[in-house]
């Protein structure tokens, strides 16, 4: 456990909910959650100004702790990681031991396979010109995701068949590009998300879409046109999307009754 990170999460709980006192469980039982986060810079918490801060993993952990869960979380997210890197991470014995014990696993992976294909594009005034990109490079990137993601999910399933696994779909990280370029970006994004969703569903896991929620306010959630990473508010809404789905899970359902009732008011 990274105790500095744990302290940061406790501070988030205090800020978000005004108290570190745990909520009362619906059934009166104490519950613990072993949580493992895997993936890329979105999981690592990279911000739109280039550094690292609290990310969706931290906000999600804070939500669980505010609901009375004792959360032991390990964040294995690394900026720049592709689906190939994820396969390498899953060869690490320490990582696999954490996965074997986890009740909850969240994953963000696949975007960097796509980002690496952008190296074939020309730069115009230090900005990517999507009109000049090499289409076969994107086809190759999508093939990599199609080959590597199911292998990764299969290994997780075999290691811990009872884990509750949630895999994120990506938002449009280039919303400030021209309409003409969007006609190239959106189909690629949709193809990537479709692949992620298909394999997530195949293994009985839960797909978490984020494209629409981030699109509601690009200025707020992706404030730096020169960077593809989210703001603090962006990570918070991503955590909200995970949280909405997690609360419906049989493992957690019934322990959030008071909070769900408040949300409905």
Residue 12 has which token pair?
Answer: 């988030």
The pLDDT confidence band at residue 262, using thresholds 50, 70 and 90, is very low
- Which residues are CB-contacts of 2 (< 8 A; sequence separation ≥ 6)? 75
User: pLDDT tens digits for 126-137?
Assistant: 688 888 888 899
- Which residues are CB-contacts of 261 (< 8 A; sequence separation ≥ 6)? none
Mean pLDDT for the stretch of residues 145-150: 98
Nearest alpha carbon to residue 145 among 200, 104, 91? 200
The pLDDT confidence band at residue 112, using thresholds 50, 70 and 90, is very high
Q: Can you state the angle between helices 93-101 and 135-159, rounded to 10 degrees?
A: 60
Mean model confidence pLDDT for the chain: 87
Residue-range domains of the chain with CATH: 3-264 (3.40.50.1110)
Q: How far is CA 227 from the centre of its chain?
A: 17
């Amino acid at each position: 456990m990274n105790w500095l990170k744990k302290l940061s999460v406790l501070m988030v709980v205090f800020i978000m909910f005004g108290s570190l006192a745990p909520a009362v469980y619906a059934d009166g039982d104490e519950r613990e959650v072993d949580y493992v986060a895997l993936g890329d810079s979105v999981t690592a918490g990279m911000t739109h100004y280039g550094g690292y801060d609290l990310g969706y993993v931290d906000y999600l952990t804070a939500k669980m702790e505010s609901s009375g869960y004792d959360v032991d979380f390990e964040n294995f997210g690394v900026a720049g990681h592709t689906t190939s890197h994820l396969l390498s991470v899953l060869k690490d014995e320490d990582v696999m031991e954490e996965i074997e014990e986890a009740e909850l696993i969240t994953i963000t992976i696949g975007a960097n396979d796509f980002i690496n294909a952008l190296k074939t594009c020309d730069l115009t005034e230090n900005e990517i010109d999507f009109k000049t990109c090499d289409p076969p490079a994107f086809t190759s990137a999508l093939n990599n995701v199609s080959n590597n993601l199911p292998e990764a999910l299969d290994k997780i399933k075999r290691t811990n068949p009872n884990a509750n696994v949630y895999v994120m779909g990506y938002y449009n990280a280039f919303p400030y590009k021209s309409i003409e370029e969007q006609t190239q970006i959106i189909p690629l994004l949709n193809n990537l998300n479709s692949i992620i969703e298909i394999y997530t569903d195949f293994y009985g896991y839960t797909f978490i879409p984020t494209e629409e929620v981030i699109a509601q306010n690009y200025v707020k959630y992706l404030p730096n046109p020169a960077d593809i990473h989210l703001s603090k508010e962006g990570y918070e809404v991503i955590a909200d999307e995970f949280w909405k789905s997690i609360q419906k899970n049989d493992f957690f359902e019934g322990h959030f009754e008071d909070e769900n009732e408040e949300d409905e008011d």
